[in-house]
A and B are shown apart, each in its own frame.
Chain A
Amino acid sequence: MKPVYKRIIFLVAILVLWELGGRLGLWAEIILPSPTNVFTAVYVGITDMTLVYDLIASFRRLIIGLTIALVIGTSIGVLIAKSKTADDTIGSTLLAFQSVPSIVWLPLAIMWFGLNDQAVIFVVILGGTFVMALNVRTGIKNVSPLYLKAAQTMGSKGIDLFIRVIFPASVPYLVTGSRLAWAFAWRALIAGELLTTGPGLGYTLQYASDFGDMSLVIGVMIIIGVIGAVVDQLIFQRIEKSVARRWGL
């Protein structure tokens, strides 16, 4: 049997058990709403456009934050790969920053920017920057010496060598870095939105929770999970695979 069929049967089985459990009264609706109610809540949210506005608002923050994170991350990565002093100072600090979940910056961010978009975007930027920088650094340091030698015998050096050889040679690491940056940024975004004002997926989750609307809570959770999985598998993993194949990894 094809994996995709197995997956579909598995999902259907879970949905059926979930629905049956609720109907047979094994748990109260407020503890775990049935799938039909969850889908109704999502359907209503989409037709009255509230969830659509949430999605647009969340993606706007994510795209702004992630773009800035990738640009800053790449710049820091190049800097610490090329300068020993920068690596000894900034480079070693990066690991410490990377191990702190970026949401812990939110209290400070709210003090600096207020309870608004900018605070969330700031947290998203922090979520993606460090992992991107570390991957870019690894990529540049791992460029095969053979490529460098070959390029040198063809008269390439300095900036030309960097742009035409070192940078493209580290593309596999750039892709992996971007994928991880997206994953961290996505988590940071939702966490940040939970604690700030809407619209936004995280905000609506918090709002539904405050009003005891567990159907909508689960609906938003599913939306968050599906988007995360789809972007990761359909976009990043595909790019990663085709790059790895072409680069002969």
Chain B
Amino acid sequence: MFIAINQLNKQFLDKDKNPSTVLKDIDLQIEKGEFVSILGPSGCGKSTLLSIVAGLTEATGGEILVNGTAIKKPGKDRGMVFQEAALFPWINVLENVMFPLKKEMSKSEATEQAKKYLRMVQLSNYLDHYPHELSGGMQQRVAIARALAMDPEILLMDEPFGALDEQTRSRLHGQLENIWMETKKTVLFVTHSISESIKLSDRIIVMGTRPGTVLTDIKVDIPRPRDKHKEAMIKIEEHVMSYLKKEIDKVVSEELNHETSI
């Protein structure tokens, strides 16, 4: 198995020093080249899970193996795209994409590599622009090019299109799908949008809250591009919704209880 998440647990200490469990016994196997969405309501720990895979957060139990090696730290084998583009404002678009390449290749090679991925996200005309001169969607495309430029085996995406407007998001879905088919990366895509996950992924991991667990693992067997198969998409959406509804109800009732107990 390419990525193996075994019995992963994560606890935080809350402000009263009580341990609270964010992730409980997560087991997940992902094959090379798969596009996997992790879907769940806010607070289910899906971003934490991704952060642990990235090596930015430490798990309190269990392990994550990539190609059989345990993950402890961030590494260039895993590129990450955050909800905010996180571009560095003091350097231009090209230099941002070259950032991860500085050490391992010559300047001209790095420039070529960066330009190649900027072409892929169709931003070749913006090489010397600074991040503040770009729209949110363009910034996010630069961030994707930057993550791809170091040629990672895995692309981790934490609600990358969450802050964008609907039209931009739908355009970027198409671009991401093309990039994925072209580069054959393994993608782990965190989202709270059901339609987004159905449109993009091979598999949807539905997570529940408090503690975060894997509720179900749904295979999406619809030919791409999927916009032409609306009926099949709606069917899966209903299936996913049946799992999520219980979770959302649980969150709402907990919040109500919390309110009355104050």
- Pairwise interchain contact B88-A168, C-beta atoms closer than 8 A: yes
Contact in complex: A247, B86 (CB < 8 Å): no
Chain B residue, CB-CB nearest to A243: B90
B82-108 CB mask vs A (1 if < 8 Å, else 0) is 101010111100000001101100000
Which residue of B75, B100, B130 is within 8 Å of A246 (Cβ)? B130
Q: Is the CB of B86 within 8 A of A248?
A: no
Interface residue A149 (Cβ < 8 Å from any Cβ of B): yes
Q: Could you tell me if A248 and B132 are in contact, using CB atoms closer than 8 angstroms?
A: yes
Q: How large is the interface on A (under 10, 10 to 19, 20 to 34, 35 or more residues)?
A: 20 to 34
Is B150 a contact partner of A154 (Cβ separation < 8 A)? yes
A43 contacts partner chain B, Cβ-Cβ < 8 Å: no
B90 contacts A153, C-beta separation under 8 Å: no
Given contacts A164-B99, A169-B88, contact A246 B82 (CB under 8 A): no
Cα distance, A152 to B90, chains bound together (Å): 18
Answer yes or no: A223 CB below 8 A from chain B CBs.
Answer: no
- Whether A3 sits at the interface, judged by CB under 8 Å, is no
A153 and B131 contact, CB distance less than 8 A: no
- B56–A149 contact, CB under 8 A? yes
Q: Which of A149, A154, A171 contacts B99 (CB 8 A)?
A: A154
With A149-B56, A245-B132 known to touch, is A154 a contact of B76 (CB < 8 Å)? yes
| Any B CB within 8 A of the CB of A146 | yes
Is there a chain A Cβ closer than 8 Å to B118's Cβ? no
- A154-B146, A155-B75, A155-B150 are contacts. A247–B84 as well, Cβ < 8 Å? no
Interface of A is mostly: helix
CB-CB contacts below 8 Å: B125-167 with A: 130-132, 146-147, 150, 156
A188 to B84, CA, bound (A): 44
Q: Answer whether residue B79 sits at the interface, using C-beta atoms and an 8 A cutoff.
A: yes
> In this assembly, does B54 line the interface, its C-beta being within 8 Å of a C-beta of chain A?
yes
Nearest CB of A to B148, in Å: 12
For residue B74, CB closer than 8 A to chain A, the reply is yes
Q: A149-B56, A150-B82, A153-B74 are in contact. Are A247 and B90 (CB under 8 A)?
A: yes
Task: Report chain B residues within 8 Å CB of A27.
Answer: none
* Given contact pairs A149-B56, A150-B80, A245-B132, A155 touches B86 in the complex (Cβ within 8 A): no
Say whether A171 contacts B90, CB under 8 Å: yes
Is A39 interfacial (CB 8 A cutoff)? Answer: no
Enumerate chain B residues within 8 angstroms of A247, measured Cβ to Cβ.
89-90, 132
Give 1 or 0 for each of A132-173: 1 = CB within 8 Å of chain B CB. Answer: 000000000000001101111111100010001100110100
Contact of A169 with B90 in the complex, beta carbons under 8 Å: yes
- Please name all residues of chain A whose beta carbon is closer than 8 Å to the beta carbon of B86 when the two chains form the complex: 146-147, 149-150
A146 with B99, Cβ < 8 A, contacts A152-B56, A165-B88, A246-B132 known: no
Q: Which residues of A contact B103 (CB under 8 A)?
A: 155, 160
Whether B54 and A248, one on each chain, are in contact in the complex, defined by CB atoms closer than 8 angstroms, is no
Question: Could you tell me the distance between the alpha carbons of A230 and B82 in the complex, rounded to whole angstroms?
Answer: 43
List of B residues within 8 angstroms of A169 by Cβ: 88, 90
Which chain A positions have C-beta within 8 A of B150? 154-155
Instruction: Give A171's nearest chain B residue, CB to CB.
Output: B90
CA distance A151 to B74 in the complex (A): 10
In the complex, which residues of chain B have a beta carbon less than 8 angstroms from the beta carbon of A164? 99, 102
Contact with A along B20-42 (1 / 0, CB 8 A): 00000000000000000000000
Residue in B74, B100, B132, B150 with the greatest tally of chain A CB atoms within 10 Å: B74
Known: A149-B82, A155-B74. A248 touches B56 (CB 8 A): no
Q: Give 20 new A-B contacts, CB below 8 A, not counting A154-B99, A246-B130.
A: A147-B86, A147-B88, A149-B54, A149-B56, A149-B80, A149-B86, A150-B80, A153-B55, A153-B74, A154-B76, A154-B79, A154-B100, A154-B146, A155-B76, A168-B88, A171-B90, A246-B89, A246-B90, A247-B89, A247-B132
Which residues does B use to contact A, with CB under 8 Å? Answer: 54-56, 74-76, 78-80, 82, 84, 86, 88-91, 99-100, 102-103, 130-132, 146-147, 150, 156
| Between-chain CB contacts (< 8 Å), 11 pairs | A149-B54, A149-B82, A150-B80, A150-B86, A153-B56, A153-B74, A155-B75, A155-B100, A155-B103, A169-B88, A246-B89
Chain A residues at the B interface, C-beta cutoff of 8 Å: 146-147, 149-156, 160, 164-165, 168-169, 171, 245-248
Closest 6 CB pairs of A and B: A154-B100, A150-B86, A153-B80, A152-B74, A168-B90, A155-B76
